[in-house]
Amino acid sequence: MFMLKFIIRNMFRHKLRLALTVTAVAVAILAFGLLRTLVGLWYLGVERSSANRLVTRNAISLTFSLPISYKDKIRQISGVRSVSYGNFFGGIYIDEKHFFANYAVEPESYLGLYPEIVLTPEQKRAFMADRKGCVVGQKLATTYGWKIGDLITLRGTIFPGQWEFVLRGIYRGADKSVDERALIFQWAYLNEIMKKTIPRRADQVGFYMIGIADAEQAARVALDVDGSFKNSLAETLTETERAFHMGFISMTEAILVIIKIVSYVVIVIIMAVTANTMAMTARERIREFATLKTLGFGNIHIALIVFGESLAICLSGGLLGVLLTFPAANWVETELSQYFPSFSVATETILLDFLLAALVGATAGIFPVWRAATIRIIDGIRRIG
């Protein structure tokens, strides 16, 4: 208890220095926590992937299509419970700044495969009954002030032209991880227009979503699906939904690596700043440490005083940084919802914040501890300043 009081009193001897150091550590921990949360968002689609869903696409790449006739053959494969299909539409609302995900899907089977997309029964029926109907997420509807019955026009990129849709439903996610900034419409409407404008692109889909009865049979079902279309004009690649999302993430792996590096560089920088602060503190108190030794304090006591102060300062900054992380994450989720559908700080991130704060404190205190513990009494007492 005596040592704890001694450490706390030493901490507050230079209040301005203490405030600046704690603030610096807090800002570093805050930045680290937000950057790590950002990295976690990249893997959000992977984490919410269902083990009972497979994705089938063209074996060459997603830009190549598959015949709609494949669906009947896929349904006949053992272990397949349901099949849906669709296309990435790539439409733009107003201009490029207002881009959001939009897909053409077969509504009944698609919504059946994705129970996390929550629609009221009335809206679901209205969507299925209207060939030009569409459904959007709650956050997207809030952003643009859309309401049921509104006319939404998208400019096609993959499928050229001006496409008009009638808003028939606004869905909510079953949990916060579900993206509520997407628009889905009926694949039949897309195919109908393609038959009139570009017949060679009609009756083609970009992907198949396959629901399987047993997740443990995923590998076998995937092999059976791809084997069914081997040596055809459009061979397939079937993988789990998780693997499919990981394929997209691998395209931005360099960005993730840079963010991770930056997050740790921030910690290294604050470690150097804290070490310099503690070195200054130890240098100023050399005579005090020598005096304490003359009063019977051993090297262990001196080391504990200096090490404890370094650790206490960094943990205080870490605690402040963690407390600031939550309102900062809430602000990001509220103000930047068009970019981050969810920005929740994971428990693992908080634990890592405290661990790194303790590591910074321990590392920053090593040299000052050694210097204070090894000073000779005579050298410390005759030191001036």
Q: What pLDDT shows up at residue 271?
A: 81
Which range, 16-25, 168-177, 209-218, 309-318, is most confident? 209-218
DSSP state letter for 92? B
Q: What pLDDT shows up at residue 33?
A: 86
pLDDT over threshold 80, residue 10: no
Q: For 262-292, give the DSSP string.
A: HHHHHHHHHHHHHHHHHHHHHHHTHHHHHHH
Q: What are phi and psi of 205, to 5 degrees?
A: -125, 160
pLDDT over threshold 60, residue 227: yes
**Cα 12–chain centre separation:** 39
**Cα 155–chain centre separation:** 29
Half-sphere exposure of 314 (CA within 13 A, CB side): 28
- CA distances 127 to 68, 130, 143, 159, Å, are 22, 6, 21, 22
pLDDT over threshold 60, residue 384: no
List pLDDT tens digits, range 97-116: 778 889 999 999 999 999 88
pLDDT band at 171 (very low <50, low <70, confident <90, very high): very high
Q: What pLDDT shows up at residue 229?
A: 92
Q: Between these two residues, 325 and 379, which has the higher pLDDT value?
A: 325
Of the ranges 27-31, 196-200, 363-367, which one carries the lowest mean pLDDT score?
363-367
Q: Write out the two tokens for 65.
A: 């299509």
pLDDT over threshold 70, residue 375: no
Task: With beta carbons less than 8 A apart as the criterion, state whether 125 and 243 touch.
Answer: no
pLDDT over threshold 90, residue 126: yes
Q: What pLDDT shows up at residue 180?
A: 83
pTM, rounded to two decimals: 0.70
Q: What pLDDT shows up at residue 1?
A: 58
Q: How many Å apart are CA 281 and CA 320, to the nearest integer?
A: 22
Give the SS3 label for residue 58: strand
Task: With beta carbons less than 8 A apart as the criterion, state whether 154 and 90 touch.
Answer: no
Closest CA to 278 of 320, 319, 321, 317: 317
Q: What pLDDT shows up at residue 337?
A: 61
Q: How many Å apart are CA 129 and CA 108, to the nearest integer?
A: 11
pLDDT over threshold 70, residue 66: yes
Q: For 370-382, give the DSSP string.
A: HHHHH--HHHHHT
Question: What mean pLDDT is predicted for residues 138-145?
Answer: 89
Q: What pLDDT shows up at residue 233?
A: 87
Q: How many Å apart are CA 76 and CA 225, to the nearest integer?
A: 10
List pLDDT tens digits, range 271-301: 888 877 777 766 666 666 666 666 666 667 7
Q: What are phi and psi of 78, to 5 degrees?
A: -60, 135
Could you tell me which residues come within 8 angstroms of residue 259 by beta carbon, excluding any fewer than 6 positions away? 35, 38, 39
Q: For 98-123, give the DSSP string.
A: GB-EEEEE-HHHHHHH-TTEE--HHH
Q: What pLDDT shows up at residue 237?
A: 93
pLDDT over threshold 60, residue 189: yes
Of the ranges 174-188, 192-206, 211-225, which one carries the lowest mean pLDDT score?
174-188
Q: Between these two residues, 138 and 274, which has the higher pLDDT value?
A: 138
